[in-house]
Structure 1
Amino acid sequence: MPITPMMAQYLDIKAAHKGDLLFYRMGDFYEMFFEDAIAAAEALDIALTKRGKHDGSDIPMCGVPFHSAEGYLLTLIRKGFRVAICEQMESPKEAKKRGHKSVVNRAVVRLVTPGTLTEDSLLEARSHNFLAAFTEVRNGCALAWVDISTGEFRTMAIDKIMLGPELARLAPSELIIPDSLEPDLRPTVEDFGIPLTSIGRAAFDSTGGNERLCRLFKVSTMDGHGTFNRAEIGAMGSIIEYLEITQKGNLPLLRPPQQETHTKTVQIDAATRRNLELTSALSGGRSGSLLAVLDQTITAAGARLLEARLSSPSRVLETIYERTDAIEYCFNNNTYTEKTRLRLRNVPDINRALSRLSLDRGGPRDLVAIRNGLIQAQCLNEEAPSNLPKLIENAKSNLIIPGSLIEQLETSLVEEPPLFVRDGGFIAIGRDAELDEARQLRDEGRSIIAQYQKDYAKQTGIQSLKIKHNNVLGYFIEVTATHSEKMFSTEFSDVFIHRQTTANQTRFTTVELSKLETKILTAGGRALDIEKHLYEELRIQVSELAAEISITARALAEIDLATSLAQLAITNSWCKPKLDSSRTFEISGGRHPVVERSLHQQGSGAFIANDCDLSVEKDTAIWLLTGPNMAG
């Protein structure tokens, strides 16, 4: 039995994505066939059906609704699948123009992998979602990582033996490596439960990588962004290559890469990191970790910044001073801290909204998120006092406020828009006269027709004149046979055009009524088309100012983190530590924040503070800490 044109199209597309589950769009559903259907039905616990035959056997089939696909995607990604999203690139009506039996054109528009997620429903709001790449070039190795949902892009030259500790620190959602390194690295990567993707070594070529980076950041050389070695360029270039493949050429908004070095942060091996429970408890999850105790941030960006700081404690005294001075200022200026935190409560996740808009996966709510975030940034900038500490002053100066964009977004968007552009209703009344007219016709067509009827009755003096509608004539003016002669008179014949005569009625139309009918019938579609056009204009305006908006978002995160830690210090009566470059280590009245929180939650009484002095005396450079089991 020959296969149908639709199934032939499916098989062609599937052949190019053999290792992926193919979400094949058919109307309001994503359908899966053959082995994909069997695997997806089991993973998603949905019904497995059949559709037609292939080579004499039934074709297994299952599907998920297009409008609720994100939840199913999340389940599949968590279970280790990659999903190719195949969309209809034209409507069935457009396809029929090529021939009655023509199949709707379809194409894969995106590969969904653990490290390339951007949708809020698929991400942890308060954690990064890193896509990392590791490569080895001669005797040098490098790790690069990116969060396409926020635009953060970093790289570091490392020794191969340091890959494990760095994976423990970053906890990437996906790691890309050259296929030649897979046998050697897979055991290490699998120990951390990180999905591993191996691709051809050509993607890690430093020459090609440099070209891709320069093209992405529109520069002739990457020297202005740092002195990167070949391995770093190769690792970063492989990420760009992978994103071009998975996003089908639609690259996300990425900030220029920042180079990290081991000398500036405390190096913590994987076992120590796990046992310290910095960001996750031994039992799994955040609860019971130091991060869970310290995280009083209000914004998602502030929470992600705190997690990054805890994972990579700074060793640079100047940096530490700047951070503690900022906390001290907020600690001593409670009015500023409280007002700032009230403002921050209205700051959405600007960077993730910006990323979705840059990838054209956003919607009206992302534009509103940008608007609301920028408005709060503007208020914080205007309300900030003088004599701020360096870190907060720098953050304030980075609250770059594009006033014209804020005005455009304020006048263009309603307060609470729908999630999707296709739903319409997100452009404010008064923003566009043509849109307002189309909406009025769509929503108030009956009242407009009633007004026309009233006007025509007054014009002709025929009070029984009616405007009616049927599927054959559309809208028409109807008068009784006794009044038809008047309508045919010279006075009205130029205005009222005869359409039909029945036994008891005569029907007419006017040029004005015909135009109105066309407008009413197309008003809904026309209103949505206008809204889509205005949305695209706003999206482009936001994208053009993406760099400035991203800097503003980072500044808001810095302010959030400083004020949240100050609030925590006030609540718990913590003090500012004195830090210097000596080998003195002395704690007076120290309290363990995690244990203290646990005791409080259990109602077990107050934590008993302890002193600790591990300062170096004379030539002593080592302290041996033992437990009771070593007493013998």
Structure 2
Amino acid sequence: MSSGKSTVTPMMAQYLEIKSGYEDALLFYRMGDFYELFFDDAKAAAEALDIALTKRGKHDGGDIPMCGVPVHAAEGYLLTLIRKGFRVAVCEQMESPAEAKKRGAKSVVKRDVVRLVTPGTLTEESLLEARRHNFLAAYALVRDAAALAWVDISTGAFHVMALPQVRLGPELARLAPSEVLVSEAQEIELANVVADAGAALTALGRGSFDSSLAADRVAEVFGVASLDAFGTFERAELSAMGALVDYLKITQKGKLPLLRPPQKEASGGGMQIDAATRRNLELTAALSGGRAGSLLACIDRTVTAGGARLLERRLSSPSRDLAEINARLEAVGFSLDETEFRSALREALRKVPDIDRALSRLSLDRGGPRDLTAVRNALEQAAEIGARHDDTALPARLHDAVARLSGHDALLDLLDQALVAEPPLLARDGGFIAPGHDEELDEARTLRDEGRSVIARMQQEYVSETGINSLKIKHNNVLGYFIECTATHADKMHALSERFIHRQTTANQVRFTTVDLSELETRILNAGNRALEIEKRLFAALRRAILDAAGPLGDLARALSELDVTTALAELAAQEDWTRPVVDNSRMFHVETGRHPVVETALKREGDPFVANDCDLNDADGASAIWLLTGPNMAGKST
């Protein structure tokens, strides 16, 4: 400017004020149908997303860099940014432009950050891998003790365990979290361990890890006075759990996800596998990256997302509990022998949506009508499975799972009566409540829909009146309903100006209205808006009914996952001719005609057979000793 002074517009002043609270994140600043980014955020995002960098206005004498992404396509851009290591603060308009103008013609629309998107806090279906957990972990050190807590906010899973620092690397390798929270005091010390696990490191202030505040923080989430009902937790465990809860409050702006009560894990319950061994065994990911070529990819026959996640958890942390192992083997053996049982159950499970993630989105108020129908459809399949197998002589493990599928009739009836078969994605689109469920809604819809037929009749009257066959009554968000004809008929329409009131002229079209059309539009608009508001109210009521049953629904989801994993392993055994092992507490190790599943699968693709091998690592008296297999690469030690 000629005066040398910089003038900051009210909108840019608002942007800078909001941005000052999120210096370490890209700010998605909502402007109408776009999220706009400015200054250094715009430069970084434009490069990361490969989109055009433009400019808007001046600041301190220089151009303001700007780029933007459409709101309707924002999820894809968010995923790209998160994968490239960015955090994103999503800033929404908290009122409409019309509401802002009531405070003055130049008033800026109120905006605020509604969510901080980070690798460990994703919930959207399109941003997550359906068959994998997305863990957020926190590691706390309190004096001489340490603990690791982790949560998947998309499913509600919440765990904690005492963990000395020397074992942090192997545990992170097992869990493969997306993000790990540490105290600022440990940031440098733990940076390499977290990086080796492929996770993003987030350092929090000492207050987040305050163990004296942690118990109250966690208790508040579950609406209890104390955590005594969940078990006894050491100070380090409380510190790690408290940090998770504090971070979720920060990132979700007070809207906490639906979490299950924290489960305390014993360090000796699962097999200990160090990070290097885990990597080289390629249990859940191949050395080349990705799932293909891993043991998990080779054996996974699950048909539900929840079942796939459970299988990965068990493969990542094999149980050392003999009773647990044999209970699982008994259930798989039954499913293998009972072909009809297995086939019918897997067919029903294929139709089960991901309840856990639907519940999570609904709890964070990010859900839509399809999340409601996901719960309904899962309940339908659960009821069918329960009714079919409730009197079957099942092993204890399968019997317990089937028993947890019943008891949801009232919720299922409500959802079944209330929802259409195929709802839209967003509640604001309407049309997801079934006819006959709500009398008031049916009345509003009738008026709205009959209005459309009245519009069609009115169009025919205007065609007859003017003699212009191409005349149409159309609608857009700016003009509402209007009469449109080609510019060639403009003079004829203007001659009827007492009847037809001119609204707009474009290059090829001329647009008019009438008093009758304006009055009809008001009636239709009111009916349409009223119908939409009623549907939104009904959505809120259905959402609340589901969340009130979140605990039992979580149990049902776990039962379905258990059934899926069991029948999937039985299917694998049937397809590949696998044999049930005898597992006991002895040190005996004896395998006849053993096969390596990953190598055998790879050979099959090439059309080559796998040569089975025996393996007996026992002394003559049957006692197992430690055997060390040596030899050069390609000597076949792995098989």
Q: Quick check: TM above 0.5?
A: yes
1:54 maps onto 2:53 in alignment = no
1:405 corresponds in structure 2 to: 411
**Residue correspondence of structure 1 range 612-627 to structure 2 within 5 A:** 612-616=615-619, 621-627=625-631
Give 1:397 shift. Answer: 1.8
Residue of 257, 282, 306 corresponding to 1:252: 257
Give 1:350 shift. Answer: 0.7
Structure 2 CA distance, aligned partners of 1:514 and 1:10? 39
1:556 corresponds in structure 2 to: 560
**Residue correspondence of structure 1 range 3-14 to structure 2 within 5 A:** 3-14=8-19
**2:268 match: secondary structure:** helix
- Counterpart amino acid of 2:553? I
Q: 1:554 to 1:98 in 2, by over 3 A?
A: same
Q: Is the 8 A contact 1:83 1:111 kept in 2?
A: yes
Structure 2 CA distance, aligned partners of 1:517 and 1:375? 42
Identity percentage over the alignment? Answer: 60
Structure 1 CA distance, aligned partners of 2:596 and 2:443? 65
1:218 corresponds in structure 2 to: 223
Q: Is the 8 A contact 1:128 1:147 kept in 2?
A: yes
Give 1:541 shift. Answer: 0.7
Q: Is the 8 A contact 1:116 1:148 kept in 2?
A: yes
1:376 corresponds in structure 2 to: 381
Residue of 71, 76, 79 corresponding to 2:76: 71
**1:263 match: secondary structure:** coil
1:290 corresponds in structure 2 to: 295
Structure 1 CA distance, aligned partners of 2:539 and 2:624? 68
Residue range with higher mean Cα deviation, 608-617 or 370-379: 608-617
1:353 maps onto 2:358 in alignment = yes
1:609 corresponds in structure 2 to: 612
1:391 maps onto 2:397 in alignment = yes
Q: 1:515 to 1:412 in 2, by over 3 A?
A: farther
Give 1:332 shift. Answer: 0.7
Structure 2 CA distance, aligned partners of 1:153 and 1:386? 33
2:487 corresponds in structure 1 to: none
Summarize deviations over 1:189-221 as a string: whole Å, max 9, x none.
122221000001211111211001111112222
1:580 maps onto 2:584 in alignment = yes
Residue of 301, 322, 328 corresponding to 1:323: 328
1:443 maps onto 2:449 in alignment = yes
Residue range with higher mean Cα deviation, 19-28 or 428-437: 428-437
Unaligned runs of 5+ in 2: 1-5, 460-472, 483-497, 500-513
Structure 2 CA distance, aligned partners of 1:617 and 1:53? 86
Give 1:469 shift. Answer: 13
Q: Is the 8 A contact 2:249 2:255 kept in 1?
A: yes
Give 1:282 shift. Answer: 1.2
**Residue correspondence of structure 1 range 398-547 to structure 2 within 5 A:** 398-448=404-454, 518-547=522-551
Name which one, 1 or 2, has greater alpha-carbon Rg. 1
Summarize deviations over 1:481-505 as a string: whole Å, max 9, x none.
xxxxxxxxxxxxxxxxxxxx99xxx
- Counterpart amino acid of 2:392? S
1:21 corresponds in structure 2 to: 26
1:239 corresponds in structure 2 to: 244
Give 1:622 shift. Answer: 2.2
Q: Is the 8 A contact 2:589 2:624 kept in 1?
A: no
- Counterpart amino acid of 1:584? M
2:179 corresponds in structure 1 to: 174
- Counterpart amino acid of 2:395? P
Summarize deviations over 1:15-45 as a string: whole Å, max 9, x none.
0111110000000000000110011001001
Q: 1:226 to 1:61 in 2, by over 3 A?
A: same
Q: Is the 8 A contact 2:159 2:264 kept in 1?
A: yes
Q: Is the 8 A contact 2:617 2:624 kept in 1?
A: no
For the aligned residue pairs, the C-alpha RMSD in angstroms reads 2.6
Residue range with higher mean Cα deviation, 140-149 or 428-437: 428-437
1:133 corresponds in structure 2 to: 138
**1:417 match: secondary structure:** coil
Q: 1:329 to 1:52 in 2, by over 3 A?
A: same
TM-score (norm 2): 0.88
Q: Is the 8 A contact 2:588 2:624 kept in 1?
A: no
Q: Is the 8 A contact 1:173 1:195 kept in 2?
A: yes
Summarize deviations over 1:498-519 as a string: whole Å, max 9, x none.
xxx99xxxxx999xx9997643
- Counterpart amino acid of 1:330? S
Give 1:446 shift. Answer: 4.7
Give 1:521 shift. Answer: 2.9
Q: Is the 8 A contact 1:327 1:565 kept in 2?
A: yes
2:574 corresponds in structure 1 to: 570
Q: Is the 8 A contact 1:400 1:548 kept in 2?
A: no
Summarize deviations over 1:322-375 as a string: whole Å, max 9, x none.
111110010010101000011001101110011000000010110010000011
Q: Is the 8 A contact 2:178 2:198 kept in 1?
A: no
Q: Is the 8 A contact 2:176 2:198 kept in 1?
A: no
1:301 maps onto 2:306 in alignment = yes
Q: 1:626 to 1:74 in 2, by over 3 A?
A: same
**1:241 match: secondary structure:** helix
Q: 1:607 to 1:620 in 2, by over 3 A?
A: closer
Summarize deviations over 1:79-131 as a string: whole Å, max 9, x none.
00000000000001111111111111100000000000000100011000000
